Structure 1
Amino acid sequence: MSLPPPDPQYILRGSGAQINTLHFRCDNEGPPLLFSGSGNGAVHVWNLNTRRPEKVLEGHSSSSIIWVSTLNSRETLISQGRDMRVCVWDLGEGRGDVTEAFVTGSVGFCQCSLLETSPGRWLLAYPGEQMEEVRVAEFPSLIPVCSLKPDSKAGMLMSVKIWQKDSGGCPEIVAGYEDGSVVLWDVTQRRPVSCLKVYSEPVMCLDFDSGRLKGASGSSEKVISSWTIDEKQNLQMHDSVELVNPGISQLRVRDDGKILASAGWDNNLRVFAWKKKLRPLAVLKHHTDMVLSVGFSDHHDPRQRLLAAGSKDQRISLWSIYNQS
């Protein structure tokens, strides 16, 4: 008999708005942290030992925060807001200041994606001013690398992930568009390599596992689809799973490549096996409104790893699913 789904370990309250994005920082530099971006323009820095915010950062003119990440250490934070700005924050020694900001020009909801290509060098992929455009820049210098626009009428850029197969490899991008297609881009050659029509509706979210050359995507439909990149650099459908209710806000593959988590419009968090086929493992129920964001912690000890979900109900749930994975 299979085990019943676990209850959340604990709940974080007090964001004051819906939770659009989550990012963990669990290293040896201090207590484990969870960064959350909310619909009222605030970034909360949660201390997971005390389960309270250490800081509340406001630098996007009360515009919704749609993406947060850290750069190399917990002392440098990057946030993206619906005010069309990306901000860089200095959090060292108790500070909470915006040290740099630039305008993307994008009015959409596509989140940025960050890739460390070598020690101390990053590439940032972000939505451009033209609705179908992916821009890539070196970071933090913001030196432009390229602008990528599909030849066909794919519509608005909805989701993007920049990745490379291994250290020193050529950076590539998978991007999801309004027409339901996923496009593989070669950043070095500035050209599309392959295109796969996955949905009839916009690709609302995607994630990519560079170790397996396999990605997953979700839309307003009832289906989560996975796809692979073959030896000829062609995108190929791999597997899919049909849900009871439609609508996926976000997908995340855990860094060990074992499981996939989805944030659902039906208020639920779902967990799937990822290695081979998309096999449902658990439906995690707690929230009273749409789940908008999901993230896995980066604890070195697998037994300490957490799964977090942020919801429109203004709460963040944290789950331990080590035994279930």
Structure 2
Amino acid sequence: MALKPPDAEYVLREERTVHSLLFMEDTLLAGTEDGQISEWNLTTFRKEKTVLNAGTSACMALKLLNNTLVTQERKGHINLWTPQESSWIVSKFVHLDYCGFSRIDVADDQGGIVACPKKNSVVEIYSLKTHSKIISFERDKDDNVALGEVMALKVIHISQEPYLLVTYENGDLHLWDFRKRHIVDHLKFENCLTAVDFSEVTMSGICGSVSSQVMFFNIDKNSSLVRTRTKEIINPGINSIKIRSDNRIVALGCWDGRIRLFSWKSHRPLAALTEHSAEINDVCFSGGRVVQFMAAGGKDRKISLWNIYSTTSV
């Protein structure tokens, strides 16, 4: 590896397994195994007294859209949180018939939408304005292919129009068209796909799986999925993938406790960070900072904060 792996800037300690992370201005939110959401001050690096309660099971996702915090509980509750003075007001958004590992995603189309995984390979799109379902993506009843459960999803845009990337338990990656409500294209991979991310700048994406393979793909001018490259990591299993907003690096949160970094341009490996002793559940990057921090959290109840290659060309 060409660059020396950096050390963590700070290590924060939670009381439960960390499942989700979100940078929000000068704070970091952390969703834990018991459904609690902690707020960490990034000036003092101490936990604030304010603790939100997303439910009674693991807080799987934290998303911010239009000044609204959207949280996902493993047992299926999707909650909306709106700021009021120094506190948050919560309203139950929807209860999903789903209990799994796939995380919701959000986008600002139509005043705000939330993409939610469901049972039987279904993904539903809900409106933040009306709190109602507006689209359902599900395979044709005549299709005999067993996709299995939804494992990961990502709302993307092609020519400013919304599309949906979905990975399934059987190793399929599907690209759905919001307008036509059908599959535009799909790719078949060898193993269950557990994580996906995509850059609308480079029109390229990445999938992680239960195996040691990392798959890269493009979307061409015909909105077709094109598999471009496969990389091997030392140990199998990836829970989270995040491409940094500057499209320079991508971070993989892995089952073996490593945070693996790749150059997004060349796909070459940069570092394997070893601060954690158990599987990483989520990785995220801060936005709007001169120095972009990366945070990672997982089963060892630690949150590591990193200043990753902010000035070095990768």
Q: Same fold by TM (over 0.5)? A: yes
- Count of paired positions: 307
Distance 2:219 2:2 in 1: 34
Quote the offset at 1:295 in angstroms: 0.5
Distance 2:248 2:123 in 1: 29
TM score, norm. by length of structure 2: 0.93
Equivalent position of 1:53 in the other structure: 47
1:108 to 88, 95, 100: 100
> Is residue 148 of structure 1 aligned with residue 137 of structure 2?
yes
CA offsets 1:149-203 (integer angstroms, 9 cap, x no match): 123321111110012135xx221000000100100000111000001012x2211
Q: Segments of 4+ in structure 1 off by > 6 A?
A: none
Q: What letter matches 1:125 in structure 2?
A: A
For the 8 Å contact 2:98–2:117, the answer to whether it is kept is yes
1:96 to 88, 93, 98: 88
For the 8 Å contact 2:251–2:261, the answer to whether it is kept is yes
Moved more, 147-156 or 289-298: 147-156
Alignment of 1:18-29 (within 5 A): 18-26=17-25
Distance 2:179 2:134 in 1: 9
Distance 2:203 2:33 in 1: 33
Tell me, what secondary structure is at the counterpart of 1:307? Answer: strand
Equivalent position of 1:193 in the other structure: 184
Tell me, what secondary structure is at the counterpart of 2:139? Answer: coil
Distance 2:132 2:93 in 1: 14
Equivalent position of 1:42 in the other structure: 36
Equivalent position of 2:230 in the other structure: 240
Consecutive unaligned residues of structure 2, counting only runs of 5 or more, are: none
| RMSD (Å), alpha carbons | 1.6
> Is residue 323 of structure 1 aligned with residue 301 of structure 2?
no
CA offsets 1:97-148 (integer angstroms, 9 cap, x no match): 3123311111121100101126xx11211112x3300101221422322111
Q: What letter matches 1:206 in structure 2?
A: V
Equivalent position of 2:285 in the other structure: 296
Q: What letter matches 1:323 in structure 2?
A: T
For the 8 Å contact 1:33–1:47, the answer to whether it is kept is yes
Distance 2:37 2:170 in 1: 32
Identity among equivalent pairs (%): 31
Distance 2:243 2:129 in 1: 26
Quote the offset at 1:300 in angstroms: 3.7
Q: What letter matches 2:97 in structure 1?
A: G
Distance 1:2 1:217 in 2: 24
TM score, norm. by length of structure 1: 0.90
> Is residue 307 of structure 1 aligned with residue 294 of structure 2?
yes
